[in-house]
């Protein structure tokens, strides 16, 4: 089980994850370097395309490198096969394939959509010399259960089963998108599939979830900067931006759970990560509670709105609101759009105290822009 760094790369939390992770999956050289420096263990790399210089560095320390197309593999095959770590078997090389089997409903997150550039379809593999290839990789799921993985594996098996059974193939990477830590995920079914694949095909099986490591493990705290009425809506402008701090709210799109911080003693809410000195009141759909606000960002983008939410009490300037489930695909995706400041990243420790992991300031903003 690998941690997909694209979802969560906060190195200050790796000590919590390390006991359960065999290593990391990286999307390229930078994430691979982060994995080696901060997590240790296995480093599996897949990128839709490599630069030669990047690959040269990866050959020195990665354990799996998977290629996305036959031209990339053929271009770099001799370069890779002549490396001593490949010759000694310390580094194995694989291909990402496309089983062309969609289980998702959002094309943006579906690598099996018609015209996809991600993974090699069966037709492109036929008749090709696969000398030097030791692994196969598919990634097709997004926030899905064990049954979708089983169905996907059966589709993969139909197309690529003969190749998987050949003695040259030593590992199968089943990608990410497994919602393993959700209470209703059928973990017994997952275990039984993994055992079956290992026993039938004699391969080592890897999974590389990102989101599942982090579900409900972190909140984004925002402050109300202004409240006003305009064109039939009551707006609350916050000091956070969907575009800059939580882009999945716009891209996915995703509606987070929102809580208002209330003094201890008022009816407590249930965000997954809460400070022991506070209680929270959960906001509801617009109109369900007496005070509805359009929660918006302090940026120029007209659509930089987190959503319409209703609260039990009116929001006031300086009130705090808390967005739940803001760890995965959030911290890694932030930007300095409009020069918005960034909140610090803090770790809530077992004793209830906060440890600051990072704080970005004006110098970070200035430095990134060159
Ligand atoms: C190749 C690959 N592996 C793993 C993941 C992690 O997926 P998730 O965070 O949905 O588990 C992704 C996500 O896009 C991916 O593209």
What is the rounded distance in angstroms from the CA atom of residue 222 to the CA atom of residue 318? Answer: 9
Q: What is the mean pLDDT of the chain?
A: 95
Instruction: Give the model's confidence band at 269: pLDDT under 50 very low, under 70 low, under 90 confident, else very high.
Output: low
Structural domains of the chain, ranges and CATH numbers in brackets: 2-213 (3.20.20.10), 220-341 (2.40.37.10)
| Cα–ligand 1 centroid distance for 192 (angstroms) | 22
What is the rounded distance in angstroms from the CA atom of residue 134 to the CA atom of residue 203? Answer: 10
Please state the atom number of ligand 1 nearest to the C-alpha of residue 212: 11
What confidence tens digit (pLDDT) does each residue in 32-86 have?
Answer: 999 999 999 999 999 999 999 999 999 999 999 999 999 999 999 999 999 999 9
More confident residue, 157 or 349: 157
The predicted pLDDT at position 264 comes to 63
Contact by Cβ (8 Å): 306, 247: no
The predicted pLDDT at position 290 comes to 97
Name which residue sits closest to atom 7 of ligand 1, judged by CA: 176
What is the rounded distance in angstroms from the CA atom of residue 88 to the CA atom of residue 40? Answer: 20
More confident residue, 153 or 275: 153
Name which residue sits closest to atom 10 of ligand 1, judged by CA: 177
| Pick from 23-32, 107-116, 257-266: least confident | 257-266
Helix or strand holding residue 310 (H, E): strand 305-311
Q: Which residues line ligand 1 (CB under 6 A)?
A: 4, 6-7, 25, 46, 139, 142, 175-177, 208-212
Residue 263 has pLDDT above 90, yes or no: no
What share of the chain has pLDDT > 90, as a percent?
89
The predicted pLDDT at position 46 comes to 98
Please state the atom number of ligand 1 nearest to the C-alpha of residue 329: 9
pTM, 2 dp: 0.95
| Cα–ligand 1 centroid distance for 54 (angstroms) | 21
| Cα–ligand 1 centroid distance for 338 (angstroms) | 29
Contact by Cβ (8 Å): 306, 297: yes
Pick from 26, 47, 48, 210 the residue to mutate for probing ligand 1's pocket: most ligand atoms within 8 Å of its CB: 210
The phi, psi pair for 23, rounded to 5°, reads 160, -150
The sign of the CA dihedral 346, 46, 68, 198 is: negative
Give the tokens for residue 133: 């290839």
Helix or strand holding residue 292 (H, E): strand 291-296
Please state the atom number of ligand 1 nearest to the C-alpha of residue 96: 1
């Amino acid at each position: 089980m690998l941690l997909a760094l694209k979802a969560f790369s906060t190195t200050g939390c790796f000590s919590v994850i390390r006991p359960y992770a065999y290593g990391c999956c990286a999307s390229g050289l930078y994430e691979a370097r982060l994995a080696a420096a901060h997590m240790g263990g296995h480093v599996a790399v897949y990128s839709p395309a490599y630069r030669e210089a990047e690959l040269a560095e990866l050959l020195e320390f990665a354990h799996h490198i998977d290629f996305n197309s036959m031209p990339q593999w053929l271009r770099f095959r001799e370069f890779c096969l002549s490396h001593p770590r490949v010759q000694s078997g310390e580094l194995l090389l694989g291909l990402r394939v496309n089983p062309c089997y969609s289980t998702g409903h959002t094309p943006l997150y579906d690598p099996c959509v018609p015209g996809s550039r991600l993974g090699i379809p069966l037709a492109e593999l036929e008749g090709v010399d696969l000398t030097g290839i030791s692994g196969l990789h598919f990634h097709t799921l997004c926030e899905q259960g064990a049954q979708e993985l089983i169905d996907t594996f059966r589709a993969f098996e139909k197309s690529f089963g003969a190749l998987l059974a050949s003695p040259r193939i030593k590992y199968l990477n089943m990608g990410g998108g497994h919602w393993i830590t959700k209470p209703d995920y059928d973990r017994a079914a997952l275990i039984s599939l993994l055992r079956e694949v290992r026993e039938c095909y004699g391969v080592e099986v890897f999974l590389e979830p990102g989101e599942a490591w982090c579900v409900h493990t972190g909140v984004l705290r925002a402050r109300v900067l202004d409240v006003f009425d305009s064109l039939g809506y009551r707006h609350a402008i916050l000091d956070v931006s969907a575009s800059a701090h939580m882009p999945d709210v716009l891209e996915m799109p995703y509606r987070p759970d929102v809580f208002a911080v209330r003094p201890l003693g008022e009816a407590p809410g249930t965000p997954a990560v809460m400070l022991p000195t506070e209680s929270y009141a959960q906001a509801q759909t617009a109109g369900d509670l007496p005070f509805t606000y359009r929660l918006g960002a302090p940026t120029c983008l007209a659509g930089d709105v987190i959503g319409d939410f209703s609260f039990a009490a009116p929001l006031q300037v300086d009130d705090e609101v808390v967005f739940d489930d803001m760890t995965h695909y959030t911290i890694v995706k932030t930007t300095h759009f409009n020069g918005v400041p960034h909140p610090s990243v803090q770790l809530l420790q077992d004793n209830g105290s906060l440890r600051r992991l990072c704080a970005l300031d004006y110098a970070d903003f200035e430095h990134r822009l060159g």
